[in-house]
Chain A
Amino acid sequence: MLTRYANPARFMALSSWAMPLAAVLAVAAFAIGLPWGLLYAPADYQQGESVRILYVHVPAAWWALGIYTAMTVASVMSLVWRHLLADVAARAMAPVGAAYCGLCLVTGSLWGEPTWGTWWVWDARLTSMLVLFLTYLGYLALWASVEDETRAARLAAILCLAGFINIPIVRFSVEWWSTLHQGPSLLRQGGSAIDPSMLTPLLIMAGAYAAAAAAIVMALMRAEIYRRRAMAAATRRAAQPA
């Protein structure tokens, strides 16, 4: 199935309707999730109104990890099978993952001050998340700094694979070390610790983040395919005799 959709022409046909559909779903989910989290979800009995940062911070963290994992899968496909779209996909995902990761760090800091009394602490979760953000930036910088695109793609894929070691560290940091950051609330033994009145808007926001990421990644992939077509056309023109 992956081979079937690794064809750029087939991807362009699929994304011509999937991209606007994802964008509409994202707008609809944010239109429900944003006011729900900001105004209608209950305040927390300990944290008060600052718990509303949850609906921005947690989905950003989930998808910063999820997008990096997807980039790693694409990088493996690029290195092993040389699929045409794998590099394009990994490169398109990087700015979205970096933006979500940066958003997670800043909103975490905004949440930390009223909750913990500090904007930042070098505990395992926060530090590993910062490392993930720096890995995203390094990946983007690598693509921008190597002129030969084939070489850039290979180096970026290797960097992405090396950086993947940080993903389980982020995920399990709150279990492996004593951290100021709280432990897992959703995926843990004994089930979710989040009340459905808060879990529902959280999941809607997570869906909105996912749909927005899908729409933006597809748009960036389409732009990259168009760019390669334009470059190929320019090369053909330059090769033609005057």
Chain B
Amino acid sequence: MTANLADPHFAFVWPSYGLLILVLVGLAALAFGRLTHWARRAKAGDDEPGRSA
């Protein structure tokens, strides 16, 4: 490891990496949430009686 974690500049580095992780988790949650929600709704619509393939 080359990083000096005691360096005061890390006060700016940690929030950058933390924000990246928050953004990625947020985007993944948004995409996964929408995908599962609408996949379930579309499946329910497909299962309706009289629905042609």
Q: Is the CB of B3 within 8 A of A43?
A: yes
Binds B, one of A34-42, A141-149, A174-182: A34-42
Chain A to chain B contacts (Cβ below 8 Å), 10 pairs: A40-B3, A102-B23, A216-B28, A216-B30, A219-B31, A219-B35, A227-B41, A233-B44, A234-B45, A237-B45
- Given A99-B23, A220-B31, CB of A56 within 8 Å of CB of B17: yes
New A-B contacts (14) at CB < 8 Å, excluding given A39-B2, A99-B26, A220-B30: A48-B7, A48-B9, A49-B7, A102-B23, A103-B23, A107-B16, A110-B12, A110-B15, A220-B31, A223-B35, A223-B39, A226-B38, A233-B45, A233-B51
Minimum CB–CB distance from B42 to chain A (whole Å) comes to: 4
Query: Nearest 3 pairs between A and B by C-beta?
Result: A233-B45, A219-B31, A226-B38
Check B13 against A49 for contact (C-beta < 8 Å).
yes
Residue of B nearest to A222 (CB): B35
Q: Is the CB of A212 within 8 A of B27?
A: yes
The yes or no answer to A68 lying at the interface (CB within 8 A) is no
A209-237, CB < 8 A from B: 212, 215-216, 219-220, 222-224, 226-227, 229-230, 232-234, 236-237
**Is A123 among interface residues, defined by CB-CB distance under 8 A?**
no
Size class of the contact patch on chain A? 35 or more
Give Cα A48 to B34, complex, Å: 42
Q: Which residue of A lies closest to B34 (CB)?
A: A223
Residues on A lying within 8 angstroms of B by beta carbon are 30, 34, 38-43, 47-50, 52-53, 56-57, 60, 95-96, 99-100, 102-103, 106-107, 110-111, 113-114, 212, 215-216, 219-220, 222-224, 226-227, 229-230, 232-234, 236-237, 240
Instruction: Please measure, in the bound complex, the distance between the C-alpha atom of A215 and the C-alpha atom of B38, giving whole angstroms.
Output: 17
Partner among A52, A100, A220 whose Cβ is within 8 Å of the Cβ of B13:
A52
Residues facing A in B15-52 (CB within 8 A) are 15-17, 19-20, 23-24, 26-28, 30-32, 34-35, 37-39, 41-42, 44-46, 48, 50-51
Given contacts A48-B9, A219-B35, contact A53 B16 (CB under 8 A): yes
Q: Are B31 and A233 touching (Cβ within 8 A)?
A: no
Across the two chains, which residue of chain B brings its CB closest to A112?
B12
A23 to chain B: closest CB distance in Å? Answer: 8
Contact of A229 among B1, B27, B31, B42 (CB under 8 A): B42
